[in-house]
Amino acid sequence: MAIKTQQTEPQPEGPQKTQMSDNMKGFFDTRSAAVHAAHLVPHIKPNMRILDVGCGYGSITIDFANLVPKGSVLGIDASDSMVKYAEEARSAGSISNMEVRKMNAMDLHELEDESFDAVHAHQVLLHVTDPVKALREMRRVLKPGGVLASRDMASLFLYPFSDDLKLVYNMYEKLADATGTNSWGGKRTHVWAHEAGFDLEKIEHTATNWAVTTRKEVRIWAESSEEGIPKAAFEAGCATEEEYDLMRTAWKEWAMRQDSWMGVLDGLILCRK
Ligand SMILES: C[S@@+](CC[C@H](N)C(=O)[O-])C[C@H]1O[C@@H](n2cnc3c(N)ncnc32)[C@H](O)[C@@H]1O
């Protein structure tokens, strides 16, 4: 088994700390504002200043920048490598109204109060140890009347669901418990937003689903997942070496089938300050 246990940089807390690797780039690069921030896009005006929290590889952030030609976007991420990737993507696209900085969502002290028209996070709050603290910070930097949008996984199923894939699923939950994060955070984002100070009547709360169905999507998802949870769980001491191998094989077998697919339900919030 070839597994790297050494970390070369400070990592954000949570199970994603080793999930986001080069293997995943192909998958995350397919994310777009039109699809993954569809609840926020209708509220974006060309002169807005937008904060994208946990921007990852930056594909959604770049779309935001293109939607605000008279405004600007700041993408922040707690991971050095994600900041580097997003900055490389920004530079490759010659995007001049976008900046990427390393910052923790729970501590945005570098940013002024009420300085953004919109604040966005996609699949981030479920990885944060104190999502209410993060949302409080996100609300602080939002202008009065501004809009905050967040979207997080609430539930998923895999078909077929072999015993070894069940091990991966259970390991995802075990890892989140061990790191103090929220495996299915999308179920309760609206509650966190209220705890962070948003009035209940100013929180729109809904859900959307997505799926991995084509052979290409299945292959990309399995390849990117092969390292993710198995490696993170092994490094966190949640999985044995044997379990690590079983989980990786489970993804390989799932990818080789003709009938495999995955369905996901995301919880969405749109909050006005
Ligand atoms: C699943 S990825 C989503 C990336 C991007 N939003 C997208 O949808 O393509 C989660 C991202 O959140 C970042 N992250 C996790 N905890 C964070 C924190 N406390 N502060 C800032 N970023 C964080 C991770 O480094 C990672 O890039």
Q: How far is the centre of ligand 1, averaged over its atoms, from the C-alpha of 85 (Å)?
A: 12
Q: Which CA distances in Å does 191 have to 27, 87, 95, 111? A: 30, 33, 36, 25
In the prediction, which pLDDT does 44 show? 98
- Mutate which of 16, 103, 266 for ligand 1? The one with the most ligand atoms within 8 Å of its CB, which is 16
Pocket of ligand 1 contains residue 77 by CB under 6 Å: yes
Position in ligand 1 atom list of the atom nearest CA 28: 9
Pocket of ligand 1 contains residue 126 by CB under 6 Å: no
In the prediction, which pLDDT does 4 show? 34
Q: How far is the centre of ligand 1, averaged over its atoms, from the C-alpha of 77 (Å)?
A: 6
pTM of the model: 0.91
Integer Cα distance of 116 and 103 in angstroms:
16
User: What is the b/e burial string over 37-54, where b = at least 16 CB atoms within 10 angstroms of the residue's CB?
Assistant: bebbbeebeeebbbbbbb
- Mutate which of 127, 129, 208, 210 for ligand 1? The one with the most ligand atoms within 8 Å of its CB, which is 127
Q: How far is the centre of ligand 1, averaged over its atoms, from the C-alpha of 245 (Å)?
A: 26
- pLDDT mean values, one per 10 residues, the chain (273 residues): 33 39 65 96 98 97 98 98 96 97 98 98 97 98 98 98 96 95 97 98 97 93 91 94 96 96 98 98
In the prediction, which pLDDT does 227 show? 86
In the prediction, which pLDDT does 224 show? 87
Pocket of ligand 1 contains residue 82 by CB under 6 Å: yes
In the prediction, which pLDDT does 17 show? 36
> How many Cα atoms occupy the beta-carbon half-sphere of 21 within 13 Å?
19
In the prediction, which pLDDT does 28 show? 74
What are the residue ranges spanned by the domains of the chain? 15-272
In the prediction, which pLDDT does 26 show? 65
Q: How far is the centre of ligand 1, averaged over its atoms, from the C-alpha of 14 (Å)?
A: 10
Pocket of ligand 1 contains residue 224 by CB under 6 Å: no
C-alpha dihedral, 84 to 89 to 93 to 95, nearest 10°:
-50
One-letter amino acid at 189 equals T
Fold classification of 15-272 (topology level): Rossmann fold (3.40.50)
In the prediction, which pLDDT does 102 show? 98
What is the Cα 173 distance to its own chain's centre? 16
